[in-house]
Each structure stands twice: as structure tokens, then as C-alpha cells.
Chains A and B, each alone.
Chain A
Amino acid sequence: MTVVLEVRDVVQEYPGVRALKGVSLSLSPGQVLGLVGENGAGKSTLIRILGGIEQPVSGTVLVHGEARQFKGSAESQAAGISVVSQEFRLVPQLSVADNIFLGHELTSGGVVARGKVRQRAAALLETLGMDLEPDRLISSLTVGDRQMVEIARALSREFDVLIMDEPTAALNGAEIRRLHAIVEKLATQGKAVVYVSHHLAEIFDICRDVAVLRDGELVLTAPTTSLDETQLVEHMLGRRPQTFERATDGTATDDRTATARLDVRELKLGGFDAPFSLRAGRGEILGLAGLVGSGRTELTRALFGDLAALSGTVTIDGTAVRLGTSRDAIRAGLFMLSEDRKGEGILPHLDVTENAMVSRERSSLRGRARWAPARRGEESVFEKLRQDMRIRVPHGRQLIGNLSGGNQQKVLFGRALLSGCKVLLLNEPTRGVDVGAKVDIYQLIRTLADDGVSVVVSSSDAPELAAIADRCLVYFAGRQVAELRGRDVTEENIVAASVGQVAGGDVHV
């Protein structure tokens, strides 16, 4: 069988991290290869090397049997490799059509052929089943639409190999189905596709073969038919997956609600008609569910002073909190971890210790340490965190940017813990976090709650809420449509309520 793309013994190193330890892989035309692995296993690194964005320390990439050294993404594209990257690489100020053809514009003499560009863009979007105007600016699109534009852009190039890094993370059901159909069509046309996804069901749906990366090594390449989901997870983790047993204890929840730590009354936010009200008890894990636009993200951001509330009161342990800035919120005992960990969470140029310490409650420190933090003291505090939370870092001076998503999130949990917060707001706490670390994080949330912290978890992952929440509020278009308690907090109930169907036919929308 001919081989269109081959990777031989590729090694990549970052400061302090060996991201790829000699990976070899080959792809033939018409093959759809699923690439899976935990976060930090090296998938993104491999993709960046194939895309020409990074150069490997050693090893070769062969295209059509010919060894190639990509010095930039342009060379990789010229060699016939097209990448749909996980992070959006779109220019917000340019139109949809201009973005699709960015870098390979259809021009005559340097002048962009606008009619042709618009026409081709519209045709591409059509095949993806999108009715977007090609002239709309990217800055005005939803995340899902941007993802589709990103895909359209990869398809607009001439390619033999298409690499898709988590293409469905922001797509809805119909869009995912359409994308799968397109992948299958490409395969029948003889294109090779590398498909990266955290949703293993997808891998089984559309991939002929699956390759598993673990800690920078390729541990398995096999036809998907020879495996089932559990086995695949075992290969990814290198062990049996742990499951998180929740305490479904409805009565305890009621006791907890009785002593409300966080009390939000009639909080009015711009863009939503109905005000928000909620209470969270001492030691309670309160889930907030709802689709995009349901208002739950805005609610948590408003509570943290990130977004101005129009009216309403918030009290913590009976004390009214002024909702001006995040600084006020932290002083009042409220802490939030943002869903955008990279943009609003980590301080990438500081090491893990400093990252964990930035919001540390000052009153816990004495004398000089308040103004000039003692490194040694911080190190011992971090060492304790590292053991308690099972943060996988070689030492406390490791830069946080080089860690996997799960480990970064753990460090941020450490930050929240040290801020001495009474109420912790979590937005998508396990987004981009691998299976193993997920369980650790659920455990951490439970430990925090047992220490008396009210934890409010806003998540789009219904199974996650079903696993950890004592009580779950479901929002739809800015209104609370359901309150699920104890045993009623199930994936089915959450999903049904999120889309406007409430058990008992009682729909408030």
C-alpha cells in the first residue's frame, strides 16, 4: 500500500519536558486515523510538527516517501498537509471569505479577486451546510461558526492529508453529523485524515484505525474494530480508569442549603430580562447547567465582579458584597476559575509556585512575608499542594505554561484554596482536562466542599454535573427552568431541562 505521510522516530523537547519520545506513524490514502491520548500526551505537539509550526529535535517527516523539513506552515501546506487547529487561528477583523483564503488568496497581480473569493467561500460553506454570508466579519461569529470557518479554510487548500484537532468541540449535533459525512467523503476521495478527539464515540464512528499516544510515546496503533471504548481508555491511561463515586445524599443537601453561604437575590444583568436568584449552602456543590446563551456564565462572571450587574444583592455569610471588581470579590471570600484557563487563569511567565501564590490571603502571612514573599515559605506551601493535589511537576520552579491542562487546573485550584475563599465559582473546571486528572479534580472539589466551601460549578458537561453536584440549577435563555436535587441530578434530566423540556411538562419559557 502506498504511504502518503510517514513520521519516523520524531522527538520533540521543550524546556524541562520531553513532549515526544520517538514517534513513528504512517498514513495511507483514504485512511481515517483517530489520534487519541490524554492531555499532555503529545498529540498537539505532533500536529504542530506536521503543520510546520514547530521543528522536531530529531526524526523525519516523509511526504510521498520524500523526507521533508518544514520551516513554516506555508511549506507544510505546500506539501499537501492541511490542519484544522484546535485554537482558532482566524483574524477577527477580516471577513469569513478573506479568512478562508488567508495565506493562499485568489489574486491576479496582487489584487484579490473578490467575486471569485466570495463565490468559492460560499460554495465551501454550502458543502458544510452553513448559510453564512461570506462578507461577515469573524468577530461577529459564534464559537461554533468560527469552528466551521476554520474547517472550511482547511478544506479550501489543496491537500492530501487533513489533520483535524478536536474539530467538534464547539459544534452541535447536526453540525457534527455533517462533519462526519464530509470526513467519510474525503476518505473515499483518497485523502488521508488524522482525527483528534476527546470524544471516543466519534473515533469509533468514523475512524478506521486508532493511534494512542501516552506520555510522548505511541503505545498502540490498531483497527478500531479490534477495540472497545474501555480498552481504548485503558491504553490511553496505561491503567484501568478510576471512577468517581458521588454521595447521593439528598437530605444532607437540604441541611446544607439551610445555612446559605452565598445568597444572590434579584441580580439583574444586561441582556437578560429575568433577574437571577440563587442560594448555595456551606459545603454544598451547586451545579449550573444550560446551553450557550443561557446566562450561567454571565451570572458567575457578574458574581466575580467581572461583569457589571444592573441591580440586586449578593451576600456571603450574611455580609453584603459590593460587586465592583474581582479584587473586591476576592476580599469578600469569593473566588472564580475562568473557563478560559489560558487567557484568564494562568500567568504563563511565572512558575507554578508563583502562580499558586498570587491570590494568597495576606492575613495568613506574618510580618515581612506580607510585602516580600519568602521563597522558602512558599516552596513548602507549594510542596504540600503538590502532594495533596497530585500535581505532576518536576519542581516548583517549572513554568506553568509548559504543563498539561489538567496540571494547570490543579495549580489554579491551589490558588483558589490559598485565597481562603468561602465561595468558589468554577467555570468548565475540566474543559481540556484528561480523564485521569478529571477524577482528581472532582475529588478536590469534594474535599473543598467538605471543608465548608460553597462550590458553584458552571458546566456544559452534563455527565460532569451529574457526577459531582449536590443540587443543580438549569438555565434556559436567562431563566432558571429547573432545580434538580440529590438523586434527580442525572445526565438525562439536565439535558432535557437545558433544551427547554422539564420533567412533568412544566416549561417556563
Chain B
Amino acid sequence: MSDHTPTSTLVADDLHAQERARSAARARRAAERERLLQSVGIVVPFVLVLVAGLLFVPNFTSGSSITNILVNAAVLAITGYGMTLVIALRGIDLSVGSTQALSACVAAASVNEWGGLAGAVIGIAVACVLGAVNGVLVTSLRVPAFIATLSTMSVFRGLALLFTGGAPILIASSGYKSFATGSVLGVPVPFLCAVVLGAGMWFLLERMRFGKHVVAVGGSPEAAVDSGIAVHRVLLGAYVLAAATAGVAGILLASQLGVVNGSLSAGLELQAIAIVVLGGTSMAGGRANIPGTFIAALLLAMINSGLNLLNVPSFYQYVALGGLLVFALSLDGVQRRTVRRALEGRTS
């Protein structure tokens, strides 16, 4: 049998080469399926809602309706960017709504005191501090993200209400108010901000070291630790960024509304989570999709606006949002299963 051995090894190596080729084919197929599902998950609902809106909703394409959709989508999308990072890290931030409220209220009061630019900077700085609190809770104190941010959601909301004393804060500066209500070539400024910030966030995730570390920590925490990645620093950075984006969205919102109160953006966390997951970011970690978050924000804004224009009672909007979230989450599960199957070559 000994004279067979060299041939057997050669045949074996040959088979390995074949197996490798098969695995490459499977990988391509899996990638195709993933792309397909991602588009089914976000592009198809987007197109359906858009068509339905155009066909059945009166005044859907009126100037004020479009502006309204774009501005709402912008606030949602910007909040969603930070949430995308946190969810890609297998975390969650339930405190974004409260963070947004507190930073918007502080910003509004500061605008009245020290002017527009200072107000905006102070507002974002407050948000960053709140995010750092979340980050420290999750990393140093090892509180599970869900519990930590559920608690801070309540704490920050309370602080916002205490800060305002329960009364609305009117922004006096008309310059500050004109920022978010203005437009460039017909496109509302907040929407432009969302596009620019989205591009920046995409660059951060796809092209920068920090982004690679986010994917590593979210995809395989053990591998990240063994690679010498400062996991805690990445997590802390993500929570600070999540709060910062919520804060930026908050000051845009304050500018647009002209008046803020302590209960601003209540329930925002659910919307933010819904658009992130619908956009293709996996709750299982490691897969972040910023363009998806952006499109999903537009989708949700269209749904809300459409329901408003149809004079559907706002209660139904809660039902719609919850349904959308369940749809997004189940799609996430289906997507993961399909990719795994494609890789294991079982569905061929």
C-alpha cells in the first residue's frame, strides 16, 4: 500500500482544491443572497411605500409634505447612525430619545443665553457626556447595555424635565431658528446634514481603523481581544458617538421647532432601533449598514407622514412602528439563516 500513498495524497490535495473552489462559489452565492435579502428588506418596502404614497395619499408630493418627510427623516437618520454603531457592537442604546431631549433643552437655553453657535456646541457636548455615562456603565461597570441604557433613559428624561421645570423653552434667536428651516437649492438643510454625516459615518466604518475595530468587536469579541484591540475604548467611543448623533439631531430639531420641552423625542429609541435593523444592521453584531439606516429613515418618515395626511389617528402609527420593527427583526433572522445555509451548501 505504501506505493499508493503519494498518489493518495495527490488525489487528496486535488480534492481539497476542488472543495476550495466549491467554497468560493458558495461564498459568492451567499454574498449574492445577502445583497438580495438586504434589498428585499429595505428597497422593496421603500418602493412599495413610495408608490402607495404617490397613488393613495393626497398632497403626498406637495412641497410642504416633501419638506416635512425629508426633515423628519433627517432627524431620524442622524440619530440612527450612532445607533447603527452600537447595534453593530451587539449593544443597544435605549436612552437616545432622552439624550436628545436633554441636549436640545440645554442647547435651547444656551442659545437664548449665549447665541446660536455656542448653544449648538454646548448641546452636543452635553450629549457626549451623557454618552460617556452610558459607555462607562457598559464597559467599566459591566452593566448589560439594555439595562444600563434603560436606566439612563429614565434618568436623562428626568433631568430634562427638571432642567425645563416642565415648561417649554422658546428659542428667541431667529438666526438659530432659520438654520434648520432653511434650504439649499430646495433641499432642507437638516437633510443635507443627514447626507453629509451619513457619508462621514460610512467612511468611519468602512475605511477607518475604528470601523474595522467596531466590526471586529461586534463580530467576534474573542478575536478582538486576542488581536490586542482596546475593546472597552471601542465600546465607549460607540456610545459617545450614539449620544453625539442624537444630540446633533436634537439641536437640528430644536432649531426646526423653535420651541422644546422636556418630553421631546419620547419613544425615539424604538424608531431608531427599527430603522437600524430594517436597514440591514444585524442585531447579532458585526454587520453595520449606514446607507440602509438612511433609506430606512426615509421609509419611516414617509409612513408617518402618509398616515398623517390620511388623517389616520396617531395611535395607529404606534401599531405601524411596532409592526415595522417586528418585520425588520424577523428579516434579520431570515437573512442570517439564509446566508448560513448558502455557505453550508444546503440550499443548492
The residues of A with any CB-CB pair to B shorter than 8 Å are 51, 53, 72-75, 77, 83, 85, 87-94, 98, 102-105, 107, 110-112, 114, 136-137, 139-142, 144-145, 172-174, 269-271, 291-293, 307, 492, 495-496, 498-501
Contact = CB atoms under 8 A, between A and B. Distances in A.
A74 B232 CA distance: 14
A104 B209 CA distance: 9
A270 B20 contact: no
A103 B229 contact: yes
**What range describes how many residues of B lie at the interface?**
35 or more
Contacts of B225: 53, 72-73
A303 B220 CA distance: 31
A110 B9 CA distance: 46
B15 interface: yes
Interface in B278-301: 286-287
Given A83-B226, A93-B219, A492-B4, 20 more contacts: A85-B226, A89-B222, A89-B223, A91-B216, A91-B219, A91-B224, A94-B215, A94-B219, A102-B223, A102-B229, A105-B212, A111-B209, A139-B27, A140-B26, A142-B19, A270-B346, A270-B348, A492-B1, A500-B11, A501-B8
Nearest to B4: A496
B179 interface: no
Contact of B286 (A92, A136, A499): A92
Interface string B202-224: 00000111101001101110111
Contacts of A139: 27, 30, 339, 343
B27 A73 contact: no
Given A291-B15, A499-B8, A93 B287 contact: yes
Contact of A140 (B208, B210, B216, B343): B343
B255 to A, nearest CB: 30
B31 A140 contact: yes
Contact of A173 (B13, B24, B216, B287): B13
Tell which of B16, B209, B226 has the most Cβ of chain A within 10 Å. Answer: B226
A145 B9 CA distance: 18
Contact of B20 (A72, A105, A145, A307): A145
B27 A137 contact: yes
A388 B317 CA distance: 65
> What are the 7 closest A-B residue pairs judged by CB atoms, nearest first?
A140-B27, A74-B228, A103-B227, A492-B1, A93-B286, A89-B223, A93-B219
B22 interface: yes
B347 interface: yes
Nearest to A109: B208
Main secondary structure of the interface of A (DSSP, over half): loop
B31 A271 contact: no
Contact of B23 (A142, A173, A174, A291): A142
Contacts of B224: 91, 102
Contacts of B347: 270-271
Contacts of B210: 110
Contacts of A51: 226
A495 B8 CA distance: 8
B311 interface: no
Nearest to B15: A291
B335 to A, nearest CB: 13
Contact of B15 (A89, A103, A499): A499
Contacts of B12: 172-173, 291, 498-499
B238 to A, nearest CB: 15
Contacts of A111: 207-209
Contact of A271 (B216, B220, B286, B345): B345
A112 B286 contact: no
Nearest to B226: A89
B1 A98 contact: no
Contacts of A496: 1, 4, 8
B280 to A, nearest CB: 12
A53 B343 contact: no
A292 B346 contact: no
Tell which of A103, A105, A114, A269 has the most Cβ of chain B within 10 Å. Answer: A103
B7 interface: yes
A140 B226 contact: no
Given A142-B23, A499-B15, A271 B346 contact: yes
A87 B223 CA distance: 10
Contacts of A110: 208-210
Contact of B209 (A107, A495, A498): A107
A137 B28 CA distance: 10
A91 B207 contact: no
A218 to B, nearest CB: 25
Contacts of B8: 495-496, 499, 501
Given A94-B212, A270-B346, A89 B27 contact: no
A144 B227 contact: no
A112 B215 CA distance: 14
Given A89-B226, A105-B209, A499 B11 contact: yes
Interface string B184-203: 00000000000000000000
Interface in B48-78: none
Tell which of B26, B30, B220 has the most Cβ of chain A within 10 Å. Answer: B220
Contacts of A145: 20, 23
A77 B209 contact: no
A114 B209 CA distance: 11
Nearest to A76: B228
A293 B19 contact: yes
A53 B226 contact: yes
20 contacts: A83-B226, A87-B222, A91-B216, A94-B216, A102-B223, A112-B207, A112-B208, A136-B24, A140-B26, A140-B31, A140-B343, A142-B19, A172-B12, A173-B12, A174-B16, A270-B346, A270-B347, A271-B347, A293-B22, A307-B346
A105 B346 CA distance: 36
A291 B20 CA distance: 13
Contacts of A144: 16, 20
Nearest to B347: A270
B260 to A, nearest CB: 35
Contact of B16 (A92, A102, A172, A500): A172
